[in-house]
Structure 1
Amino acid sequence: MRKLLSCLILALFLAACAGSKPNKINDKDWVSIFDGRTLNWWKVGENSSTFRVENGAIVVEGPRAHLFYDGPLRNHNFKDFEFKADVMTTPGSNSGMYIHTEYQQTGWPSKGYEIQVNNTHSDWRKTGSVYAIADVKEQLAQDNEWFTQHIIVQGKKITVKVNDKIAVEYTEPENVNRPNDMAGRLLSTGTVALQGHDPKSKVYYKNIMIKPLD
């Protein structure tokens, strides 16, 4: 009888543990949005083969494509936040990190801003640029070496740091008027994305993190 009672108590304890809810993510801290093994929580439209995971990093190599964060953190919709990743380019490569964007099946994202990733590609807008809005001509990082790109979005201000050095501080004017082909280049809310630029570009991303600020 005592043995049966002990078994019953153990069974009830295990059932309680199995039914308990995991601790809620503290979304006021840095949160990893890439597990280092899969593309779970990410969504890609055209040319999905451009993105793969190798050795704990997202490898971007192939035709134009965009990989959008589609996971549970803040229901992948951010306003004020920090976004950073460790990045490594190869010679002549081009990529980008998008903010305040939204999923598109095809084409270049029409919503939000692109923060450039380009150390030696022929495009003169280099790593750290708020693309075509506040551009950087100086090369701030090297190919074949890991560097950190850190983007801070707060209110109407975007700050971009490359290896902790401020590359851009851009404040969006009130009632800004963009040309038609850049009408969506505005701060609002949205997800983040990584860019596959062209078949000759190969870029690596790891330690991809977000810290909500609101």
Structure 2
Amino acid sequence: MMKIFSHIFLLITLLLTTAHAQSSDDDWISLFDGQTFNNWSAAENPETFSIEDGMIVVDGPRAHLFYNGPVENHNFDDFVFKADIMTMENANSGIFFHTQYQEEGWPAHGYEAQINNSYDPDPRRTASVYNVDDNTEITFPDNEWFTMTIRVEGQHITIMVNDEVITDYTEPGDVDRGTNVLSSGTFALQGHDPDSKVYFKNIRVKPL
């Protein structure tokens, strides 16, 4: 009899674990359809961004590609964001969050999660909260895919590369940096300069 109860317990545990995993997977919302720039708006130099084999290719002069779609009305507060990224040699890029669309210049709102594995003129490496909590160690090589995860919950920012925490930052309550603070807003992919080529795919978010 004990063996029967033991088997039933294991079966129930397995079913609950599977259901939880499926529910977690279902919580992710894709922000890029792999074929079009629907729900995205490019500013300053739109030609910097193109689509190739289901990937966003960033290759050209300074530009930013802002998400302006229906998910959360492109105004995210707490979230987990993921993207698969591959950098070419000497590439500099970034992912802005809690930001707003603007026609030109570096985004004035929110924070940037830095992407830089070999661009030596800037010592701030991948997974830095740019110019706020900077990582100076190379976290991943060029020419290989990695997954960047950005989590914002309250005043807490965590940035991971392949599930390894690189930056763990809590914004102080008395911070004074104008609009470069946590509030709410959208995401933007950065085209940094004509010599920086970066690929993005599997862009997804999980509102919290």
TM range (shorter): 0.7 to 0.9
Aligned twin of 1:125:
124
1:92 partnered with 2:90: yes
User: 2: distance between equivalents of 1:39 and 1:124?
Assistant: 32
1:205 partnered with 2:208: no
2:73 to 67, 75, 83: 75
Aligned twin of 1:146:
145
| Number of aligned positions between the proteins | 183
Aligned twin of 1:164:
163
User: 1: distance between equivalents of 2:202 and 2:176?
Assistant: 35
User: 2: distance between equivalents of 1:148 and 1:38?
Assistant: 22
Instruction: After TM superposition, give the deviation of residue 44 of structure 1 in Å.
Output: 1.1
Unaligned ranges ≥5, structure 2? 1-23
Unaligned ranges ≥5, structure 1? 1-25
User: 1: distance between equivalents of 2:176 and 2:44?
Assistant: 30
User: 1: distance between equivalents of 2:187 and 2:29?
Assistant: 14
SS in structure 2 of the partner of residue 140 of structure 1: coil
User: 2: distance between equivalents of 1:154 and 1:49?
Assistant: 34
User: 2: distance between equivalents of 1:91 and 1:84?
Assistant: 22
Identity of aligned residues (%): 57
RMSD, aligned α-carbons? 1.1
Aligned twin of 1:11:
none
User: 2: distance between equivalents of 1:176 and 1:137?
Assistant: 23
1:113 to 111, 114, 117: 111
Name segments (4+ residues, structure 1) moved above 2 Å.
none
User: 2: distance between equivalents of 1:176 and 1:116?
Assistant: 20
Instruction: After TM superposition, give the deviation of residue 150 of structure 1 in Å.
Output: 0.2
User: 1: distance between equivalents of 2:140 and 2:146?
Assistant: 7
* TM-score where L is the length of structure 1: 0.84
Instruction: After TM superposition, give the deviation of residue 92 of structure 1 in Å.
Output: 0.2
* TM-score where L is the length of structure 2: 0.86
The residue type paired with residue 61 of structure 2 is P
1:31 partnered with 2:26: no
